């Protein structure tokens, strides 16, 4: 059955901007995006990524972004940390929470973080340990849960294995990434069925990209199974450098509209989110990827 409340984890400052082609997005724009998002009633915002700037140039100013934001009480500002170097920088920048990331596909893991899945988990061990001592919660991402741009099909059992390993390492929550947005509702349910045998459903989140336009349908399918945490990106911002044609996360506005229709509480202001989506789309000269935002307009 459907959850009564859903927590939205806003991804746009990180997943939404990390692959933006062309010039580097000014730090001030990122800071303003995060500040605007935190006025919408969102409680979890992935604000930055402490990865190698050679690999992801758009996230090279992560420390400056974290230093520039006006922190709202009750809002968690999270950051990606692939290794100890990233974690140390995130702690220095006072990230409230961090995230480690691996995948269910070996080929994707190699392209994304330059190691095997097993090596990635080994790399996370000291990150988990240090974060625990610093009192910082760690989230875990498993990418390619419904398909991989290199190997194609992904076995749900493999998703379950990686998710379980991350949970056992101490991640408080595992976010299941349909990185290239190839899933469909039945596939999403089957994948979740396999994973929830190893990881309790209340420790799982859905992180669906919308490449094939299935993300809202897939979310409906997993919400029905009890998923109560949804990753989303305002205006559907985003893409993936290692996944041809991949589009951003499902648009936060569209998720909110779906949830409102189901009578599910989020504490988020839809119109303010719509305005924020229009603002960032205009600022980046980008098409707004939210259907709801296009229907409602800016006001």
Contact 174, 231 (CB under 8 A): no
Intra-chain end-to-end CA distance of the chain, in Å = 35
List the one residue from 6, 7, 12, 15 that touches Mg ion (CB under 5 A): 15
Q: Does 15 bind ligand HMG (CB under 6 A)?
A: yes
Q: Does 113 bind ligand HMG (CB under 6 A)?
A: yes
From the CB of 45, what's the least distance to ligand HMG, in Å?
Answer: 14
- Nearest 5°: the CA angle 44, 216, 25 is 50
- Of Mg ion, ligand HMG, none, which one sits near residue 49, judging by CB under 5 to 8 A according to partner kind? ligand HMG
Q: Which two tokens stand for residue 45?
A: 């915002």
List the one residue from 85, 94, 197, 244 that touches ligand HMG (CB under 6 A): 85
Closer residue to Mg ion, CB minimum distance, 15 or 254: 15
Burial of 245 (0-12, 13-18, 19+ CB in 10 A): exposed
Comparing C-alpha atoms, which of 214, 212, 194, 217 is closest to residue 204? Answer: 194
Cα distances (Å, whole numbers) of residue 105 to 84, 153, 169, 178: 23, 9, 19, 12
Q: Does 183 bind ligand HMG (CB under 6 A)?
A: no
DSSP string, 183-249: --HHHHHHHHHHHTTTS-GGGEEEEEB-TTS-HHHHHHHHHHTT--EEEEBGGG----TTSTT---B
Interatomic CA distance for residues 91 and 223, integer angstroms: 33
Q: Which two tokens stand for residue 70?
A: 């006006």
The stretch near ligand HMG (CB under 6 A) out of 76-84, 187-195, 211-219, 265-273 is: 76-84
Catalytic-role residue among 40, 148, 171, 240: 240
Closer residue to ligand HMG, CB minimum distance, 80 or 274: 80
The stretch near Mg ion (CB under 5 A) out of 12-20, 69-77, 197-205, 262-270 is: 12-20
- Of Mg ion, ligand HMG, none, which one sits near residue 159, judging by CB under 5 to 8 A according to partner kind? none
Size of the site for ligand HMG (CB under 6 A): 24
Contact 77, 69 (CB under 8 A): yes
Q: Does 179 bind ligand HMG (CB under 6 A)?
A: yes
User: 40 an active-site residue?
Assistant: no
The stretch near Mg ion (CB under 5 A) out of 14-22, 32-40, 163-171, 221-229 is: 14-22
Interatomic CA distance for residues 54 and 27, integer angstroms: 17
List the one residue from 8, 17, 47, 56 that touches ligand HMG (CB under 6 A): 56
List the one residue from 3, 82, 149, 183 that touches ligand HMG (CB under 6 A): 82
The stretch near Mg ion (CB under 5 A) out of 7-15, 75-83, 109-117, 274-282 is: 7-15
Residues of this chain that interact with ligand HMG (CB under 6 A) are 15, 18, 49-52, 54-56, 80, 82-83, 85-86, 101, 112-114, 141, 143, 177, 179, 207, 209
Residues identified as active-site:
240
């Amino acid at each position: 059955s459907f959850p009564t409340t859903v927590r939205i984890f806003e991804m746009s400052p990180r997943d939404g901007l990390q692959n933006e082609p062309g010039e580097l997005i000014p730090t001030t724009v990122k800071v303003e995006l995060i500040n605007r998002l935190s006025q919408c009633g969102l409680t979890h915002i992935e604000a930055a990524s402490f990865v190698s700037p050679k690999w992801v140039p758009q996230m090279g100013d992560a420390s400056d972004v974290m230093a520039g934001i006006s922190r709202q009480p009750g809002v968690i500002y999270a950051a990606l940390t692939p290794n100890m170097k990233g974690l140390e920088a995130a702690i220095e920048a006072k990230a409230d929470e961090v995230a480690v990331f691996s995948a269910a596909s070996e080929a994707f893991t190699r392209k994304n973080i330059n190691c095997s899945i097993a090596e990635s988990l080994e790399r996370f061990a000291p990150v988990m340990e240090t974060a625990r001592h610093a009192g910082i919660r760690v989230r875990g991402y498993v990418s390619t849960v419904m398909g991989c741009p290199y190997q194609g099909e992904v076995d749900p059992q493999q998703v379950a294995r990686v998710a379980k390993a991350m949970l056992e390492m101490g991640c408080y929550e595992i976010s299941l990434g349909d990185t290239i947005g190839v899933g469909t509702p039945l596939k999403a349910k089957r994948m979740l069925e396999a994973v929830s045998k190893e990881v309790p459903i209340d420790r799982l989140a859905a992180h669906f990209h919308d490449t094939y336009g299935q993300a809202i349908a897939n979310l409906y399918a997993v919400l029905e199974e009890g998923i109560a945490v949804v990753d989303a990106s305002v205006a559907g911002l985003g893409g993936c450098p290692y996944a041809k044609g991949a589009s951003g996360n499902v648009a936060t506005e569209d998720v909110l509209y779906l949830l409102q229709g189901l009578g599910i509480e989020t504490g988020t202001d839809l119109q303010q989110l719509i305005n924020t989506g229009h603002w960032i789309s205009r600022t980046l000269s980008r098409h707004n990827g939210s259907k709801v935002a296009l229907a409602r307009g800016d006001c």
